[in-house]
Structure 1
Amino acid sequence: MVTEEDIINKYNEIIIDAPVQDLVELLPEIESDDFIMRNLTIRAKEKIIEAKKYVENNPS
């Protein structure tokens, strides 16, 4: 059985390991989930901030 902790750990792993350019595509999904956003590690949250800055500096 998959637990909430398993889900959070997987999101943390994906976010931290993803290149910033790839993470940009996942931002809407991640940011729309309050549960995920509340439970991410500090490193994952920092990576999301990096992706947001990338979007600001590289508008499409």
Structure 2
Amino acid sequence: MQYSMLENGMDFIISGILHLQKAESENAEENIQGRELKYAFLHSSSGIELVFKSRLNIEH
């Protein structure tokens, strides 16, 4: 399976949202919430960066 830069970015953003939802669940332990928040931030920021790079790639 091969993703384009835009598809990969969107996949990271969706993954970040899913990690955020897991972190906000009432059943999650504190250490699990911290880990989920960390990955939510990392995946979201990587996804946003890839979406911007994809747009720049199209323009130039």
TM-score normalised according to structure 2 size: 0.38
Larger radius of gyration: 2
Structure with larger RCO (C-alpha < 8 A, sep 6+)? 2
TM-score normalised according to structure 1 size: 0.38
